Chains A and B, each alone.
Chain A
């Protein structure tokens, strides 16, 4: 490979650039939470947590946690001015009712028709779904941040998900370690790729055809690890 894929931090940075000023945003637990570290200068973003918080801020210093104030990932958070607290059903009313502008989630697989699989691999072991199946409905747009392939090199952008689905036709944009891909009319449409990878190589790491619709921009991010 004569290219260097983006780090998770860089993927998160790129996803953060698309969040509009004043947006209400839910970030999935784990990797997607990193998006909150890179809000573009001057943009006000309000983060939603499933357990009933709007407007939470950074983690408190270690030792100063208040465990009655945690996010959906059960990490201690703080409140920004203008925050509000509500119960779980009101919280999911915000989600399901279409009040969030953006949800950014992780993925095992994303299909070219927008299907998302991110809650379990196969049918053995202990299943756990959390809020993922709710979050794919209702947000103005549902984006995914993910490595472009699995650890053993298999495509995560696929023709059709083989893992159990989280939602049908819900994802509209995928930020990967190699590219930014939109989902339109049942196709992957390549918008950006890292400069060093060839189209052929990128296609070979992608499980369904990458369509073009206008220029493919260079995907360039700051150095972030």
Chain B
């Protein structure tokens, strides 16, 4: 594996040098940051793009006739072009929101309350993040749709038989499903799922909050109707996320939030709406953050997803191998196709104690239900510990995790 990585020129030490925070020490130890799935660290290029905007090219966008506003609007709209290219979409199909959560809520409100009718069904899976479950529960309770939960197999993959059962009565109008589970690491077969949903006359929304960080995403090749992700997990700033929607879907959708910038014309009596994507961007947008996201996309593109995916596969394989050597450690999920996220339990030690004791050694992992409480319970747990990897993660850090866990076991001995 490492040969393959070298071949495509992946130099993890050079990458690490791009992330200032990785030089920090925690409790006197070198920081080993294994919590990138919650939010990734930011490279110098992203920080610089934001600083440059604030220091040299900042003003409110779109309506300004002066130099600063024009330059800042160019940068902001330039980021939209970058995101469009990143997903292989058209720029009119890219709506900027705060995060993946807001993107799903936007679809639930705007598409959900107009195209979906009371009695129609929405299907999600057992392995959704709360962001792709709670908005549909809220839509169910306010709008009378039915919400169905497609099962996963014991391996932690989607159960296609159960999916078929859920679709059998022809009432499903939307399949809203993760592209990669933030607990099990499972990738879902999105092309197949899109074809499946479309064959039943349903639309598909993909929660790419995790997947978009690790793999090249081509919404046209997938034939996704909606795709969402968050900037902060993709080495970009917080406060910026993306909703992709097929042009004809966005065009037919009413606005979600009302205010400046999303209108065509306003009178006291009545307003008419701008075209997508502006129809869905009310008020002053997250200008600096959007430009930062553009820089993040440039950054990952410069490394290249082939290299990123190979690096993360190698890390994950290594982690699964060395963690399985620890007595009493159980990894959740054993999907064939999985990404750089490993959740586990340790017999006799609560996940919180694992996380705290690792932190004392400078190792940052997450513990809890990872905003997937029903899945965690479905797996028979209250909470689990989770290590997750980014472009800057090294094999040595995974070995540090293993030593750290042995130390935890000693304390609990």
Partners in one complex: no
